[in-house]
Amino acid sequence: MTRGRFITFEGPEGAGKSTHLKALAEKLKARGIPVLTTREPGGTLLGELVRKILQFNEAGEAPVPTAELLLFLASRAQLVNNVILPALERGEWVLSDRFCDSTFAYQGYGRGMDVAELRAINAFATQNLMPDVTLLLDIPQTESRQRVADRQGQADRFEQERDTFHLRLAEGFRELAKQEPQRIRRIDSTQPQADTEAAVWAAITPLLP
């Protein structure tokens, strides 16, 4: 059986990752390709509990940056081992709303941690799994903040961070794309939705059977 493909969606808050992940999943299914969708943090029972801790301080206190990092990686290790790798072995395409590049951007460029060290510990947590293609949905920091402000519901810990933090992580995502242009495809998410969907489809077309 042919191994499945692993595609991740990355970008600042409000970039449209969930929307475009869903649209791509529907297109792939229409072509008869089995698809599994997931998200980070989360995707497993353990991961969803970690998500509540990371996003809304469910434990009753905010995790310090090192604990924050390790919680993300614990959730990712569970997701990779129990969900992503088995699906890929079954020949399914896995689409994930965030993966390792969010760690490099948020904890690396945002929190100021060493990105090389983050890559090493991430490799341990993921059994060296990397996406076949990463779709970086890019929007200006001002638009990202406006989209978050327009959302309904409670803002999470990361959405409440200062503008300077969000500026650093947006620049971090772009720097990561420059470092790995073959894997990370930067897509303008300010254009009309149909145009962004077309760009996403064009980026994954070379992977189609």
pLDDT digits (tens, 9 = 90+) for 14-60: 899 999 999 999 999 999 999 999 999 999 999 999 999 999 988 89
List strands edge to edge, sheet with 93-97: 35-39, 93-97, 6-10, 133-138, 184-188
What is residue 147's predicted lDDT score, i.e. its pLDDT?
A: 73
153: left (phi over 0), alpha (psi -120 to 50) or beta: left
pLDDT digits (tens, 9 = 90+) for 92-139: 999 999 999 999 999 999 999 999 999 999 999 999 999 999 999 999
What is residue 207's predicted lDDT score, i.e. its pLDDT?
A: 97
3-state DSSP percent of the chain in helix, strand and coil, to 5 = 55, 10, 30
pLDDT digits (tens, 9 = 90+) for 51-97: 999 999 888 999 999 999 999 999 999 999 999 999 999 999 999 99
What is residue 65's predicted lDDT score, i.e. its pLDDT?
A: 96
Q: Could you tell me the CATH superfamily of domain 6-207?
A: P-loop containing nucleotide triphosphate hydrolases (3.40.50.300)
* 159 band by pLDDT with thresholds 50, 70 and 90: confident
* 145 band by pLDDT with thresholds 50, 70 and 90: confident
Neighbours of 204 (CB within 10 A): 19
* 153 band by pLDDT with thresholds 50, 70 and 90: confident
The pLDDT > 70 percentage for the chain reads: 99
What is residue 180's predicted lDDT score, i.e. its pLDDT?
A: 98
Handedness of CA 18, 24, 27, 29 (dihedral sign): negative
* 194 band by pLDDT with thresholds 50, 70 and 90: very high
Q: Is the pTM of this model over 0.85?
A: yes
Map out the domains of the chain as residue ranges.
6-207
- Three-state DSSP state, 44: coil
